[in-house]
Chains A and B, each alone.
Chain A
Amino acid sequence: APSAPPPPSNTVVPPSLPPYFIKGSIIQLADGELKRVEDLKTEDFIQSAEISSELKIDSSTVERIEGSHTSPNFAVVQFSVGEHRAQVSVEVLVEYPFFVFGQGWSSCCPDRTTQLLELPCTKLSVGDVCISLTLKNLR
């Protein structure tokens, strides 16, 4: 079973761009199947979450995208998460890719994502619905 990431605070700052977003990175789905990161589909995330005993898919709608006050290389993306529309902001590098339902990888600066990671990417926009995760059976 996958080990769950730590609980969220309202703002999450990933330390750097993780290596698994580089084109060609091998990703293991919950059923054991291996896929390249650029070949992942929405169904892969949904089916993996269905198999997972800990995690389930939630939808996060992009409500606002603005430049970070700390660095021009960062952006703050505000999401409305799940049916309760909980507000979560994440501060990420502008090239950080999010997976948009039915669309694929998207970032605030897709040109930079493609340049740095070679990952095919579209522009993340307000209204896009991204894949996020939540824990199952939380009380």
Chain B
Amino acid sequence: NVEPRSVPVFPWHSLVPFLAPTQSD
């Protein structure tokens, strides 16, 4: 039997390349 190959699932937030700088107010 051949095991079904699992498809990688990526979280939505990984698509955004950087975090905005922390605001200090």
State the A residues within 8 Å of B (CB): 2, 4-5, 7-8, 12, 14, 18-21, 25-30, 34, 37, 40, 44-45, 48, 52, 55, 58, 60, 81-82, 84, 86, 88, 90, 92, 96, 98-99, 131-135, 138
Contacts and interface: CB of A to CB of B under 8 A. Distances in A.
Interface string B1-25: 0000001111111111111111101
B12 A30 contact: yes
Interface of B: 7-23, 25
Contacts of A132: 16-20
B8 to A, nearest CB: 7
B16 A27 contact: no
B11 A28 contact: yes
Contacts of B11: 2, 27-28
Given A19-B8, A26-B8, A133 B13 contact: yes
A28 B10 contact: yes
Instruction: Give the interface centre of B9, B11, B18, B22 by most chain A CB atoms within 10 Å.
Output: B18
Contacts of B10: 19-20, 25-28
A48 B22 contact: no
A81 B9 contact: no
Nearest to B16: A133
Given A19-B8, A26-B10, A45-B12, A98 B17 contact: yes
A138 B20 contact: no
